[in-house]
Structure 1
C-alpha cells in the first residue's frame, strides 16, 4: 500500500513535467533591454530585440498614450530602470497580449507624432526597434528665430559658422580598438571649435547637436539654413578595416553629388520658397523650371568653389599640427555637404581605427590642437574673402584706406564678372566695395569700381 501510494505521488509531477516538455518551444523573439535618447525636438526610444520583430503602433488621447504591439515577443527588459527625465514619457507599462504577443504602453505628458523602424546589427548593438516621438510644439519652439546673426552697433554682422558633430545617440559612428566611440570624440571637438570661434571677434558659432542624441542628415543641413550660416563644418573621425591608415582629411561636395542634389531640389516644389535661405537670401519661389535650374546650378557651383577654398585653407593649417591622409581637398557626395547655398566641408579628424590616432583623439590637448588649426583655416579664408555686410568685410575695407573709385552705370548685357575682368579686379572685390549681397546687377544701377 505504501509502495503504491509512493508510485502515485511520483507519477503526478512526472506527468506534469512530460506535459510541459511536450509543449511547443516559443518561436518568437524578446525585448532584451531598452535605451532612451532625449533630443531638443524629439525623443528616441530603442528596444534591443533578439531578432526582427513584427510590430504596430498607434496613439490614444484622453490621456495621451502611445501603444506599441509586438507580435510573438516576450519582455526581458526592466523599463523601470529607464531615466525618463527630459522626455515626453511619464511611465512605461507592459503586459502579455493574445498569448505570445507583448503590448507596451507609453503614458505621455503631451501629444506626440510617432515614427518607428528597425535597425540591423552594427559594431555595438544587435537588432533594434526604434520609436521616435516628435514633440510638434517643442519643435517649433526649438527652431531658431531669424535672423540669428549678431550685429555690432554699426550694423556689421558676425560670420555664422555651424558646426556639426557627426553621429550621436543610437548611432555611435566608428569605434576604435580600445572602444573609443566616434560620436563622443567629435562632440567634444565640435564644442572646443565652437568655443574658439565664439571667442574670435566677428564670428558666431552654432552647434547642430549639443548632447548625445541623433539628428537626421537632412535636418543638419536644414539647421544650418535656419541659422543663416555662412559656413557649415561637419566633424568626423574616419575608420578603416585595417589599423594602418592614418591622417586627417577635408572633403567638399563632388560635382556628381551636386548634380543629383539639384535634381532633388527641383523635383520637390515644397523646397522652392526657402531653397536659397542662407546668408544669400535668394528664393526660387515663382521661378519657372528653366530659370530655377540655372539659378540653382549657379548657386551650387559657387557653393562648391567656396567650399574648396575654405577646405584648402583648413587642410593647410591641419597639416601643420597633424598628419594628412591626402595632400588635397577630396570631393564626395556626402549628404551633409549638399546645401546648395551654404559652403560646406567635412573634416575627418583622423582614423579612430588607428591605435595611435585613437589615443590622440581621446585627449583634450590633441582635439584642441586640431580645433585650433580648423579655426585658423576658417579665419584665414574669411579674412581674404569676407562676406559682404560683415564686420570682417568692414575691417578689410577700412584697413586698406580710402580707395579711389570711379562710378559706372550698368548697361544692357553687363555682368559683374565681365566688369571685374575689364577693370582688373574680382567679383568678390566689387561685391564688397558696393555692399552687394550677390553678383546680380540691373540695367541703370550705378556701382563704384576701385582703381586698379
Structure 2
C-alpha cells in the first residue's frame, strides 16, 4: 500500500500537467521551426514546438507521391518550407505537418524531448533511412490505416473532453528539492543466478559485471542526499523480468536503469549504448500492465474515457522522460569511454515496459570485445563508466528542477 501511495504522490503533479495539456489542445499551439538535414542515409527532421506533442510519424502513398505525416494537437499557423536528403518539402496546415518525400524512406526513430538548458521549446526528432519502394509501400499501407484511426480517436477525445468534467486533484506542497531522498533511483543488475547472460572469451560472466557495476553505482548515488537508491538484486540471484518492473513501481521509482553487457558476432564491435522503448515495445505495455496489475494511479470523476486519455498522456510523458534521460546520458558515456556509432537505440526489452516509470537499458560494452571486457572487469573502468551514469542522472534531475521552478 505504501508503494501505491508513493506513486500517487509522484504522479499527482503529472496528472495536473496532463489535464492542462488536454484542455490546451483546443486552444492550439504553434510550431516554432522545422528543419531537415542529412542525405537520406540517414535524414533527420527536427520540429520545435511550444507544447509537447505525441510524437507519432506515419508514412503515406497516394497518386504516386510518398509522404510522411506528423499529426499535431490543436490548430497551427499554416506555412511551408524546403527540405533535403530525400525530403523535397514540408507543409504545416490544419493540425498536420506533412513532408513530401522524393525517395522511399522509413522512420528509424522518433523522439520527443522536453526543453533543456537554453533550449526553451519542445522538440520532436525523426530519423529516416532509405529503403526499397516495395518496403515503403508495405509500411505506408499499414500506416495510412493507423493514421486514420489516430485522427478519428483524437476527434472523439476532443468531443468527449469538451463535455467531461475531470475531478480536481488536490495540489501538493512542493517537495524540498534539496532534501534527502527526493528522487528514487532503481538500479537493475541484469541477469543473475541461473541466468549468466553473455560471457567473454576468458569466461567473464555478464551477471558478475552488472552486479559489480550496480553496487558501485549505488555507492556513488548514496553519497548524494537527493537520491534514495534501490537495487533489484544485490547478490547473485535470478529475478524474473516482470518482478524487476513491479519492484520499481512498488518503490515509486523516478528512474529505472537496467545494466547489461552486450555480445556481437564480431570481436571488433565495441562501445556502450542506451536503449529506450521502441514502438513495438509500446504495443506490449497495456497487455503486460493488465497481466501484472500495473495500474497508473490517476484520479478522475469516474469517466472511463477521460481516465483512458490521462493514462495515455502519462505513458507518453514517461516515454518522453526516458528519451530525455538517454540524451542526457550519451555525452557523459562518450566522455568516459567508447560508444557505438548509433548510441541511442530503441527496443522492446521487458524491463522498459513500465507505463509510468522512465526507464533505460544501458549496455556498458561488449564482452565479446577484448578491450571492452578488460575495461568492464577492471575497477577503474567500471568506476569511470558508473561515474558517467551518475553525471547523467544529475543532469537529468537538475533540468527537471529548473523546469518545475520556472513553472
Which interval holds the TM-score relative to the shorter structure? 0.5 to 0.7
Quick one: distance in 1 between partners of 2:194 and 2:203?
Answer: 15
Identify which of 352, 368, 380 aligns with 2:395.
380
Partner residue, 1:163: 187
RMSD: 2.4
Q: 1:155 and 1:328, CA in 2 relative to 1: closer, same or farther beyond 3 A?
A: closer
Please list the CA deviations of residues 42-100 of structure 1 after superposition, one character each: whole Å capped at 9, or x if unmatched: xxxxxxxxxxxxxxxxxxxxxxxxxxxxxxxxxxxxxxxxxxxxxxxxxxxxxxxxxxx
Alignment of 1:99-248 (within 5 A): 157-248=181-272
Check conservation: 1:312, 1:328, Cα contact below 8 A. no
CA distance, structure 2, for counterparts of residue 347 and residue 242 of structure 1 = 20
Which residue of the partner structure matches residue 364 of structure 1?
379
Counterpart pick for 1:341 among 356, 359, 364 = 356
Distance 1:284 1:264 in 2: 23
Q: CA deviation at 1:152?
A: 7.1
Structure with the greater relative contact order (CA < 8 A, sep ≥ 6): 1 or 2? 2
**Given the superposition, is the C-alpha separation of residues 287 and 371 from structure 1 closer, same or farther in structure 2, using an over 3 Å criterion?**
farther
Q: Secondary structure at the match of 1:172?
A: coil
Change (3 A) 1:167 1:384: same
Determine the C-alpha separation between the residues in 1 that align with 2:251 and 2:360.
17
Indicate conservation of the 8 Å contact 2:298/2:307, yes or no. Answer: no
Q: List per-residue Cα deviations over 1:2-30 (Å, max 9, x = no partner).
A: xxxxxxxxxxxxxxxxxxxxxxxxxxxxx
Are the structure 2 counterparts of residues 207 and 287 from structure 1 closer, same or farther at C-alpha, using a change threshold of 3 Å?
A: farther
Give the C-alpha shift of residue 175 in structure 1. Answer: 0.8
Per the normalisation by structure 2, the TM-score is 0.54
Task: Please say if 1:317 is aligned against 2:343.
Answer: no
Contact 2:178 2:225 in 1 (8 A): no
SS in 1 for 2:336: coil
Query: Measured at CA, do residues 363 and 296 of structure 1 come closer, stay the same or move farther in structure 2, by a change above 3 Å?
Result: same
The Cα shift of 1:293 comes to 3.2
CA distance in 2, matches of 1:160, 1:213: 22
| TM-score normalised over the length of structure 1 | 0.48
**Contact map agreement 1:275 1:284 (CA 8 A) in 2:** no
SS of structure 1 residue aligned to 2:230: strand
Runs of 4+ in structure 1 deviating by more than 6 angstroms, as ranges, are: 151-156, 283-286
In the alignment, what sits opposite 1:282?
298
Q: Matched residues in 2 for 1:172 and 1:378: separation?
A: 27
Report the CA distance shift for 1:292/1:350 in structure 2 as closer, same or farther (over 3 A). Answer: same
- Tell me how far 1:200 sits from its aligned partner: 1.3
Shift of 1:298: 1.2
Measure how far apart 1:332 and its partner are. 0.7
Partner of 2:146: none
Larger radius of gyration: 1
CA contact (8 A) 2:213 2:382 kept: yes
CA 1:286–1:260 in structure 2 vs 1: closer, same or farther (change >3 Å)?
farther
- CA distance in structure 1 between the aligned counterparts of 2:213 and 2:301, rounded to whole angstroms: 38
1 or 2, which has the higher helix percentage?
2
Q: Could you list the per-position Cα deviations for residues 246-274 of structure 1 after superposition, in whole angstroms to 9, with x for gaps in the alignment? A: 00000111122112212443x55x72xx5
Instruction: Sort the Cα spacing of 1:364 and 1:287 in 2 relative to 1 into closer, same or farther, 3 A.
Output: farther
Residue 300 (str. 1) matches residue 320 (str. 2): no
Structure 1 counterpart of 2:274: 250
Mapped contact 1:307–1:345 kept (Cα < 8 A): yes
Deviation at 1:378, TM superposition (A): 0.7
Distance (whole Å) between structure 1 residues aligned to residue 180 and residue 224 of structure 2: 15
User: What is the total number of aligned residue pairs between the two structures?
Assistant: 233
| CA shift for structure 1 position 282 | 3.0
The structure-2 alpha-carbon separation of the partners of 1:325 and 1:152, relative to structure 1 and needing over 3 Å to count, comes to same
